[in-house]
Amino acid sequence: MFVSIVRFYLNGWIETQFIEPGLHFKYFGFHWVPELTAFGYYFLFVLMALSALGIAFGVLYRFSALTFFLAFTYIELVDVTYYLNHYYFVSLVGLLLVFLPAHRAHSVDAWLGWTRRASYIPVGAINILKLQLGLVYVLAGIAKLNADWLLEAMPLAIWLPAQSHVPLIGELLTHKVTAYAFSWAGAAFDLAIPFILLSACWRWAGYSAVIAFHLLTWSFFQIGMFPFIMIGATLVFFSADFHSSLHAHIGLKLDKRPIPAKMISPVLQTSMIVFMVFQLVFPFRSIVYPGNALWTEQGYRFGWRVMLVEKAGYAQFKVVDKQGNELWVDNTDFLTPVQEKMLATQPDLLIQYAHHLRDHYQQLGVEDPSVTAEVHVTFNGRPSQPFIDPSIDLAALRDGWKAKHWILPLNDRKKG
Amino acid sequence: MIRLSFFCVLVIGACSLNGCKGGDPKPQGEDFDRAGMLENLAKNIVGPSYASFEGALVDLQTALDAYRLDDSEGNVIALRDAFGQAYIAWQSCSPHEFGPAANLGFRLTVNTFPCDTARVHVLLSSESYDLKLATNAAAKGFPALDFILYKLNDARWAEPSVQAFIQANIDLIHDDLHAIQSEWNETYRDEFETNLGSDVGSALGTLVNAVNQDFELLKNANVGIPLGKKTLGETQAEKVEALYSGQSIPLLIFRLQAIKNVFEGGVGLGIDDQLDALGASYGEESLSKAITLGFDDAIEAAQLIDGSLHDAILDSPSDVENLHSKLQHLVVLLKTDMPSQLGVQITYQDNDGD
């Protein structure tokens, strides 16, 4: 995580993503999250980096974990356009770590006697991490069980040929059948890997597959740190003996101590169960919305839907005054390229942007502005098509949990 | 145990790779020669656009020199004509604002319009000035020359300060062009031709983004803003390109053709061929055909406009609206379907794979 934060800084993303944009998009229910000054963002990132080190070395562990979780989540909440499933994953694990006794051994805290030393940690603590990881894989696998992925090999059929310049296997990637093979293998991998890792006998094979799979995706796609996070995180599936011997290799020894009697309080236990049930159910909320969630993006986020869509959208916003005069908005006046790209395919962000435009032009003296948008989106190789009702006044809408009926249905006529 | 399982994974992996080989006898996209396309675009499209611009600037300089020796009516006409030709040659460079040109902000230097004529008057009465200063951003380049050569009373052309201003602008553009050409020839062209990926820094990604940016600028700055799209329908006809010489329409058509030319790669391999090799479709027809048609429709709509763009906006706005809607239709294809089918990334940001 420390590496991740340093990478973020080195890429200049603190500057371009948080400080430069004049407008930030918020998560539904989190509009209150205040934006910070440049100093504030840098301060939070430093805090995050220090607390990540704190967790790793077990320095003031609980405090570090809590700080890390809060800082990381705060940064995420500032702008929804940067949403990534793996940031969400990091937040969740961060939250779990606050409650797990991961500092009882090989930690500075234990060494200094700030916490009770222990050679054992409750099996529940390990299992909940396994469960969280397993859920991510399985839910990502279930999300892949859709017609585009399985029957059209989309979007891999677009993405893989784009890599045809890669030495050795490049030529192979241009074959449609390769995209099918990758799609099916990917879905099978996601669905099966947690179970394979659970089996002692197959664990090494499974872990080799984890490494191979994530390195492959890392080399093909622009997905940042995620592959390495998963490669590291899945080590939790290995046995205690394995970790002890690993530690022994780097000169850390564990003195055998008796298993403590009281492990986890009932309150904590119950909250963990509630947390996991939520984790299990929340990703499926898209079922209650009409249409394909990959198209409408209703109930899309926090659903472990990774690698599922190739989308590009173009949104032409129009501000209309009381007399019906139209003003065409130039998005580059308000948005960064990332924001412009993300916004065009996400209905809730269209509403937020429309509200911003209404307020902006009202201040400039436009009377009773209404805001409409012609949005065209291309989705998994289909011809671009209108995404929302171009006559609806987006500024008059409020975002909410209710289905957005102004999203036009996906015209699924197969491409030629 | 460990070795055995590892071996199994390798074997399974090898088997599935073999499976791929044996499968599809006629794969899509296999034959496409990406390196060939980039070489063609560099050698036959981008390189020559700079070379002809260079030639046109030399002619402009010659015409200015001739006028300085003899301010005959014929030399006045020749000077204006050379300026018009240089402005046309520029239109083919405008879509290539990447690499060395982007580093210098070449487009801003050559063609920031509308011209700040008040500022030009200030410069004409100054002893010395630096055209690169931000305060002079809209008082230089072709829009400023357009003003001098077609609006300023030609009695003033004899003034040394006016001739010096024309010279300073030609030099400014010429110097930047030289810098761009030498960097292009020495290093950038090779990098461009060998960068075969589709990510943001790749040649294809760079090209697609540059072309789209230029096209959107054309739609907004050349047509949309004068037509009143940013001012609640209140037209701003005086904001057209080449207001004083009234050349907006021919220039716009040359620009559209230049962008189309990048897309088609002239007679050689272009983005259209890559789309065809990928089997990209748009409804019943191929995506490349739809985009080519989109360019043709827009060019035709521009040809239908009578007289200057400035006058058409005031007298027959529906013709200009028609052009604008053709551009709007095309921009969707260029900014959604095309990059999506090519697998081109628009930003450096990490993504979820979406």
For residue B282, what is the nearest residue in chain A, using CA coordinates? Answer: A383
pLDDT of B65: 97
Kindly report the nearest CA distance between residue A176 and chain B, in angstroms: 6
pLDDT of A217: 86
Tokens in use for A4?
A: 């991740």
For A222, the closest of B328, B342, B350 (CB atoms) is B350
A vs B: CB pairs below 8 A: 173
Instruction: List A161's β-bridge partners, or say none.
Output: none
The answer to whether residues A193 and A220 touch, using CB atoms and an 8 Å cutoff, is no
Least confident of A96-105, A199-208, A390-399, B286-295: A96-105
Kindly report the nearest CA distance between residue A44 and chain B, in angstroms: 20
Residue closest to B41 by CA, chosen among B215, B188, B218, B186 = B188
Whether the pLDDT of residue B288 is over 90: the answer is: yes
The answer to whether residues A288 and A299 touch, using CB atoms and an 8 Å cutoff, is yes
pLDDT of A119: 72
Q: DSSP 3-state helix, strand, coil percentages of chain A (rounded to 5)?
A: 55, 5, 35
- d(C-alpha A122, C-alpha A113), whole Å: 20
Rg (CA), chain A: 24
pLDDT of A38: 87
Top residue of B214, B229, B340 to mutate, by most chain A CBs within 10 Å, is B340
Is the Cβ pair A326, B353 closer than 8 Å? no
Residue closest to A13 by CA, chosen among A62, A84, A67 = A84
For residue range A294-312, what is the model confidence (pLDDT) as tens digits? 999 888 888 888 888 888 9
Q: Which helix (H) or strand (E) holds A376?
A: strand A370-379
Tell me the mean pLDDT in the region B61-90.
96
Instruction: Assign B3 a pLDDT band (cuts: 50, 70, 90).
Output: very low
pLDDT of B260: 98
pLDDT of A124: 78
Least confident of A200-204, B42-46, B108-112, B169-173: A200-204
Share of chain A above pLDDT 90, in %: 34
| Distant-in-sequence, close-in-space partners of A206: CB < 8 Å, separation ≥ 6 | A193, A196, A197, A199, A237
Supply the mean pLDDT for chain B. Answer: 89
Q: Return the residue matching tokens 């500032």.
A: A78
Tokens in use for A255?
A: 């003195």
pLDDT of B11: 35
Tell me the mean pLDDT in the region B219-226.
96
Q: Return the residue matching tokens 């959604």.
A: B336
pLDDT of B349: 53
CA distances from A345 to A19, A152, A297, A350, B343 (A): 24, 21, 8, 8, 17
Write out chain B residues lying below 8 Å of A360, CB-based: none
Instruction: Assign A415 a pLDDT band (cuts: 50, 70, 90).
Output: very low
Whether the pLDDT of residue B113 is over 60: the answer is: yes
pLDDT of B346: 64
pLDDT of A222: 75
For residue range A186-234, what is the model confidence (pLDDT) as tens digits? 999 999 999 999 988 889 999 999 999 999 888 888 777 888 888 888 8
Is the Cβ pair A384, B337 closer than 8 Å? yes
For residue range B29-68, what is the model confidence (pLDDT) as tens digits? 446 898 999 999 999 999 999 999 999 999 999 999 999 9
For residue range A20-67, what is the model confidence (pLDDT) as tens digits? 777 888 888 888 888 888 888 999 999 998 998 888 888 888 899 999
The answer to whether residues B112 and B144 touch, using CB atoms and an 8 Å cutoff, is no
Tell me the mean pLDDT in the region A166-187.
86
Is the Cβ pair B343, A330 closer than 8 Å? no
Instruction: Assign B86 a pLDDT band (cuts: 50, 70, 90).
Output: very high
Tell me the mean pLDDT in the region A322-341.
90
For A338, the closest of B23, B234, B347 (CB atoms) is B347
Is residue A208 left, alpha or beta, with left meaning phi > 0 and alpha meaning psi from -120 to 50? alpha
Whether the pLDDT of residue A259 is over 60: the answer is: no
For B1, the closest of A162, A204, A378 (CB atoms) is A204
The answer to whether residues B143 and B113 touch, using CB atoms and an 8 Å cutoff, is yes
How many CB atoms within 10 Å of residue B50?
22
pLDDT of A25: 86
Q: Where are the beta strands (DSSP E) in A177-238?
A: none
Residue closest to A314 by CA, chosen among B215, B323, B98 = B215
Share of chain A above pLDDT 70, in %: 94
Whether the pLDDT of residue A112 is over 90: the answer is: no
Whether the pLDDT of residue A358 is over 50: the answer is: yes
pLDDT of B213: 92
pLDDT of A227: 86
Q: Return the residue matching tokens 């009697």.
A: A261
Is the Cβ pair A326, B232 closer than 8 Å? yes
Instruction: Assign A250 a pLDDT band (cuts: 50, 70, 90).
Output: confident
The answer to whether residues B89 and B258 touch, using CB atoms and an 8 Å cutoff, is no
Instruction: Assign A170 a pLDDT band (cuts: 50, 70, 90).
Output: confident
Tell me the mean pLDDT in the region A238-258.
74
Residue type for B304, please?
L
Instruction: Assign A161 a pLDDT band (cuts: 50, 70, 90).
Output: confident
DSSP-derived pairing of the beta strands A311-320 and B281-282:
unpaired
Q: Is B25 on the interface with A (CB under 8 A)?
A: no
Tell me the mean pLDDT in the region A231-255.
80
Tell me the mean pLDDT in the region A122-134.
85
Residue type for A249, please?
H
pLDDT of B352: 54
Least confident of A86-95, A233-242, A280-289, B260-269: A233-242
Tell me the mean pLDDT in the region A357-379.
94
pLDDT of B103: 94
Instruction: Assign A12 a pLDDT band (cuts: 50, 70, 90).
Output: low
Instruction: List A376's β-bridge partners, or say none.
Output: A314, A386
pLDDT of B350: 57
pLDDT of B80: 96
ipTM of the shown complex: 0.84
Write out chain B residues lying below 8 Å of A193, CB-based: none
